[in-house]
Structure 1
Amino acid sequence: MRRNLEDLAIRDKLIYHAMLGVCTPQFMKHLYESLTRDPTSTMEEIIRSYNPRGTGAAFNNARAVLEKAYLKFPYDEMQQQYQTENIQMLTIADRDYPAGWLNSYLPPIVAFCAGDLRLLERPCLSVVGSRSPTAYGKTVLNEMIPPLAAEGITLVSGLAKGIDQMVHACAIGSGGATVGIIGTGLDVVYPRENALLQRKMMAEQLVISEYPLGTKPERHHFPMRNRLIANLALATLVIEAREKSGSLITANLALQENRDVFAVPGNIDSPLSVGTNQLIKAGAACVLNAADVLAEMRMLRE
C-alpha cells in the first residue's frame, strides 16, 4: 500500500524529495527549514512561502511539477529501488553528517552514498587538479598521495579525468581511503573511462552524489559538485590548474568558506601552473611535498 506524503517522517520527506530530482538545492534547504520549524507544514504552504508571490505562476508551476512527480514516483517504490542498489542516504538531520558541510553556505540536505561512510570519520583532504596533467603533475601526485594515505587521511576528489582519477587510484593502490563526489546519479558514470574505478570505489571506498539515480551529467552540476568537495575536507590541495579552471573554482569555494588551500608551485611558463602560482601569490600555502601538507593539516586540527 502506498503511503501518503503526510504520513512520512521529516527525514523520509527530505529523502523522498531528493529522490524525485525536481527540487533545487535551494528549495531543499527551504523544505528542511520549513519542516524543522513546523513538522505539520503542508507542501502547499512550503511552496507558497518559498515563492513570496504566493499564487503566481511560479507557485503554480512548482506545485504542478511536484504533484506530477508524486504520481509518477511513489515513495515506497523509489525507496525499494535505492535499497536494491545498496545506496545509503545521509541527511543534514543525521548525527554523522559531516561538520564541513553543516557549516557551509548551501549544505546538501540529502546525499546519496555508496560504500563505507566510516571514511568520513577520518580527517579529509580534497585534492584537485588538471584533467590533462603534465609529467610534472603526475610525478608530484605519485610522490604526495602515498604518504598522505599512510597517515590515515581520506583523499577526496571528483572522479573526473586526470588528477581526480589519479588521486583515487593512487590512494587505493597505497592501501588508503578515498571518496569520490560526482555530478551524476550513482548509476551513471562520467567519464565512461572511470567505470571500473567508480564501481570499485562504490564497493570498497565511498562515492557520493547530491543527485538521484538516473541523473545525467549536466554542465551546471559540476560547479555545484565542487562545493561539496571543497566543504567536506579540512583543506583543498591543488596540484596543477589552468587559469579559470574547475580546480580554481573548487579552491575559491574553499576560500569563501574560510577553509585552507594548499598549492603546488610550478614553472612560470607552464599553462597548468598558472592557477596554482596565482593561488600561492594570493596567500595559499605553498607545499612542496607530503610533509608540508601533513604539517599544515596538523596545525588545522590543533
Structure 2
Amino acid sequence: MITIVDDIYPPVLKTIKDAPLVLYAMGDIDLLTLHPMLSVIGTRKPSNEAMPKMKEYVLPLIQEGWVIVSGMAMGIDSYAHRLALNSSGRTIAVLGSGFDYIYPKKHMQLFRQIAASGLVLTEYPPNTPPERYHFPERNRIISGLSFGTFVIEATERSGTLITVDQALDQGRDVYALPGSPLAEHTKGCNKMIQDGAKLVQSTADIAEDWKRMESHWVI
C-alpha cells in the first residue's frame, strides 16, 4: 500500500485533480521512479493491423527503456502490456477493481505476468469488485502517470476518449495514429488529430517531445 505522503508515490500523480490518496501495488514499485512513461490505449476491438502498428511505433520505445502504462482491458491495452512483456520491457497496469477481482477474468494470466515482472496498481482495496464507474476513474491514473497518451486505434465514440479528455485536462500530450476515414477503428484517432492531437508518423514524433520536456518533467 502506497499513500500520497510516501516517498515512492509518483510526484507527477500528485499534480492531477482527485489524485488517489492510496495506491495498492503488486510487483516492482521501483518502476514508479522511472521515466519516461507513456500510456498506450485504444479500442477493445482492434483491427488485424493493430499489433503490426504497435510493433512499428511502440516497440522501439520499449526497447529504449520506456515504461508502457495501460489498463489491462481487452484489445489495445492487453496488446501493449504483452508487447512490453514479450520484449523484456517495462509495463504498468492500472486496474478498475481490487486484486481479488481481476477483470476481465480471461486476463488472470496476464495479470500474474505483469505482477511478476512489471507492476499492477489500483486505488481500490483488494475486495472491491469492478464497477462501470471505476474504469473512467482509473483512467485518470493511467494518463496522470504518463507524460503523454498514445492512441493506437479508436472508434468515433470509443471509451478511449475519456482517457484522452483526462490527459488533456491534466496538461498531458496526446498522440494518435491516423488511418483511413472509411475504417471504423481509426475514425476516433482521425477526430482526435482534427481536434489537436499530434499525428504520429514515427516514434521520433513522441521521443523528440520527451527530450524537450524531460528536464521540466523529472522531479
Question: Given the two structures, how large is their TM-score scaled by the length of structure 1?
Answer: 0.69
Letter in 1 for 2:26: A
Deviation at 1:235, TM superposition (A): 0.6
Q: Any idea what the Cα deviations from partners look like across 1:45-103, whole Å, max 9, x if unmatched? A: xxxxxxxxxxxxxxxxxxxxxxxxxxxxxxxxxxxxxxxxxxxx111111221122100
Contact persistence 1:235–1:260 (CA under 8 A): yes
Question: Given the two structures, how large is their TM-score scaled by the length of structure 2?
Answer: 0.94
Separation in structure 2 between the aligned mates of residue 201 and residue 268 of structure 1, nearest angstrom = 35
Is 1:231 the counterpart of 2:144? The answer is yes
- Structure with the larger RCO, 1 or 2 (CA within 8 Å, 6+ apart): 2
Structure 2 alignment gaps of length 5 or more: none
1:101 match: 13
Q: Any idea what the Cα deviations from partners look like across 1:196-215, whole Å, max 9, x if unmatched? A: 11011112210000101121
Structure 1 alignment gaps of length 5 or more: 1-88
Separation in structure 1 between the aligned mates of residue 3 and residue 20 of structure 2, nearest angstrom = 8
Deviation at 1:142, TM superposition (A): 2.0
The structure with more helix, counted as a fraction of residues: 1
Query: How many aligned positions are there?
Result: 214
Contact persistence 1:263–1:284 (CA under 8 A): yes
Deviation at 1:240, TM superposition (A): 0.6
Q: Helix, strand or coil: the match of 1:155? A: strand
Is 1:90 the counterpart of 2:5? The answer is no
Alignment identity in percent? 41
Is 1:215 the counterpart of 2:162? The answer is no
Separation in structure 2 between the aligned mates of residue 183 and residue 286 of structure 1, nearest angstrom = 29
Separation in structure 2 between the aligned mates of residue 134 and residue 293 of structure 1, nearest angstrom = 23
Letter in 2 for 1:106: D
Q: Helix, strand or coil: the match of 1:135? A: coil
1:126 match: 39
Q: Helix, strand or coil: the match of 2:206? A: helix
Q: Any idea what the Cα deviations from partners look like across 1:13-40, whole Å, max 9, x if unmatched? A: xxxxxxxxxxxxxxxxxxxxxxxxxxxx
4+ residue runs of structure 1 moved beyond 6 angstroms?
none
CA RMSD of aligned residues (A): 1.1
Contact persistence 1:120–1:154 (CA under 8 A): no
Is 1:291 the counterpart of 2:204? The answer is yes
Is 1:188 the counterpart of 2:101? The answer is yes
Separation in structure 2 between the aligned mates of residue 175 and residue 293 of structure 1, nearest angstrom = 21
2:48 match: 135
